[in-house]
Chains A and B, each alone.
Chain A
Amino acid sequence: MFTSKPQSASKKLTLMIAAILPLAVSFIILAWGFFFVRDLQANNKDVPQLLIVLIAIVWGVGGVVLLFTTANFFVEQLPEKWTQRLVPFIFIGPAILMLTWALVLPTIRTIIASFYGVDSTKFVGLKNFIFVFTNSAMLEVFRNNLLWVVFGTALTVSAGLLIAVLADRSKFETLAKTLIFLPMAISFVGAGVIWNFIYAVKPAGAPQIGLLNAITTSFGGQPQAWTAFFTPWNNFFLIVIVIWLQTGYSMVLFSAAIKGIPSELLEAARVDGATEIQVFFRIMLPNILGTIIAVSTTIVIFTLKIFDVVWVMTGGQYGTSVIATEFYRQYFTYNNNGIGSAIAVVLFIAVIPVMIYNLRQFAQREAFK
């Protein structure tokens, strides 16, 4: 930017040094911090925890600020032409590098590993995939995941829609929506504990401390270990947990979509004598169809990857294992890199249609034409 004045060679050199120096210094600071944080954590016996936490936060957050500022400073010292050319890459570069390292390369590496054996040294062709698609335990895993995707999505979407419609016409809309939305803030592990407690079982005759068994026995039923020896229904007791967690999400989106329907449209239908049910099916549903598809897709992908709930509730035992828990077990329990990778690739293949749909939508965007 300051290139309009002619510069002597020595002046250029000092300028270059002045530009490179901050960049180099910040790299050194970052590298030093990296090793410092790493080693602090490896043997932090006598360092106060709070101090480590503070150093870690300052280094992590400060590092990013420092990196952008000095990199930009460096580029701005270059001749105008080069600044123009390079500044965009200062802005998008870190994100692209990060995406490449954390997502693009790993995907390729996992796909390659899925064609190799247990320790990734011997090429085995499609053997891992043949195992994944023929092994009877794996088939049960796929069946369970199908239950998750179908029932988890259908019930979350319909519960969210029902509540959104009800709340829209109630005076207590805000309160009701807050309460339904609340579980969104809770972790799956926490939700697992909450529902484990609801499903808790005591021997017949003893007072039941789990709500569900207390209700069952008060109606004269036998206490039941809902998530254990109750196949295949135990899967549904796990799915309920995710419905409880995610309905808030679908409700919020449907609620926003319903409010976006022009009120004249609804009024006109009502004046013409349409019943509320007709209004819902003939006017509301077609108008929010786009949102329904978007929400369903999100929840399908979400249930496809479901891990925490199953892992915490049953560890994938009692016929409740799903793709993600099986992936974890193959890789970390059986140390089978090949089959673990093949299972991850199956998950990846399952989301490709959505990926293609997203890219098509993107290709039509004004900003990129």
Chain B
Amino acid sequence: MKKSKFFNSLILNASLALICLLWTIPIVGLLISSFRDRIDINSSGWWTVFPHKDWIMVQRITPEPSVDRNQPMTLGGVTASFEEFLKGIEKNGQKFIWIGNRRIGYLEVQQYKWTANTTFTLENYKQVLSSGNYTAKLKDGTTQTSQGDSMNRAFLNSIAVSVPATVIPIALAAFAAYGFAWMKFPGRKMLFALVVGLLVIPLQIALIPILKDYVAIHVNGTFLAVWLAHTGFGLPLATYLLFNYISELPRDILEAAFVDGASHFTIFVQLILPLSVPALAAFAIFQFLWVWNDYLVALIFIGASPNNQLVTQRLAEIVGSRGQDWHLLTAGGFVTMLLPLVVFFSLQRFFVRGLTAGSVKG
């Protein structure tokens, strides 16, 4: 009995560990790759940074030009034709393999032994984070000049978009939630039904008309455009969640404040807001991550104006124009994730609470 219990928990934890590994590997691969030399990334898998057994060159034999490569050659104690060398010959635990073409190639003697590709570099990050031309130093000593990816600028832009696009909808929603929860006014039920109805509306249906309004007042391509759009799109959920929280605060606290002659505004600012911090924080994290990670809204309302682009747009641009430059994609990818991951790890508790408060409604 005891033995089978131990065995069960072993299977349980092993399968859980396997799933976690499966879930983590993609991020680990990206993170490791972002620190590898650009030549390495393109010629070997990122997992080769871990110790593994591989054929490693121990000797290079360059035959004299006078050697006839159309006849069997004797090199390093092995006699074989060019074709055989090209395929590779294994002898005494060594591998003899021809590298390059018939005329100017050479023979590599390789041995199967433990190795790890552990050359790491910060060049990839420097390049994606710089604007203007960037000259990268490569592992083989050469330099390569190319356009930086201006992710530094995009990072600031993303902050400039995300902070107001988080604060504004929360402020609007908190006021509205208080209004719906604690005030009586005509149309209260109908207006809240509107909020509920808009909870699931696909934002695609709103994009084109909003874009037309923006073009008419010349704000398209600015931060303002993105704030207002995110405010509108985030409001239904924000109002709904905050209403759920604020309407369940104890009634007697408020009544006591009213008796003391406090106005709604004072009660809201001095009493309700401090009491609602958990709900406000939960939604703030949610909205911040949503705005920071958003691509569609930025794509449409900021579009191509290069100075105002956000990190997701810059990254998508690298994918589109230089989809094989893995050194840029991996480093750029990690730059876009940096802030969300910090927020996530430091405020995970609030985030989880926000999610569960929003959706477990039976």
Contact = CB atoms under 8 A, between A and B. Distances in A.
Chain B interface secondary structure, helix, strand, loop or mixed?
helix
Given A60-B168, A185-B289, A185-B340, A179 B362 contact: no
Contacts of B138: none
A193 interface: yes
The bracket for how many chain B residues form the interface is: 35 or more
Contacts of A301: 200, 202
Nearest to B42: A209
A109 B209 contact: yes
Contact of A64 (B168, B292, B359): B168
A358 B296 CA distance: 26
A189 interface: yes
B204 A188 contact: no
Contacts of B235: 95, 98-99, 102
A211 B47 contact: yes
A99 B164 CA distance: 17
B344 A197 contact: no
A337 to B, nearest CB: 7
Given A89-B185, A312-B319, A344-B204, A193 B333 contact: yes
B43 interface: yes
Interface of A: 1, 34, 37-38, 41-42, 44, 49-50, 52-53, 56-57, 60-61, 64-65, 68, 72, 76, 85, 87-92, 94-96, 98-99, 101-107, 109-110, 113, 162-163, 166-167, 169-172, 175-176, 178-190, 192-198, 200, 207-211, 214, 244, 247, 249, 252-253, 256-257, 290-291, 294-295, 298, 301, 304-305, 307-308, 311-312, 315, 324, 327-328, 331-332, 337, 340-341, 343-345, 347-348, 350-351, 354-355, 358-359, 361-363, 367-368
B271 interface: no
B184 to A, nearest CB: 8
Interface in B311-350: 312, 315-316, 319-320, 323, 326, 329-330, 332-333, 336-337, 340-341, 343-344, 348
Interface in B183-229: 183-185, 188-189, 191-210, 213, 218-219, 221-224, 227-229
Contacts of A106: 205-210
A110 B205 contact: yes
Contact of A200 (B157, B160, B173, B326): B326
Interface of B: 9, 12-13, 15-17, 19-20, 23-27, 29-30, 33, 41-47, 153, 156-157, 159-160, 163-164, 167-168, 171-173, 175-176, 178-181, 183-185, 188-189, 191-210, 213, 218-219, 221-224, 227-229, 231-233, 235-236, 239, 247, 263-265, 268, 289, 292-296, 300, 305, 307-308, 312, 315-316, 319-320, 323, 326, 329-330, 332-333, 336-337, 340-341, 343-344, 348, 352, 355-356, 359-362
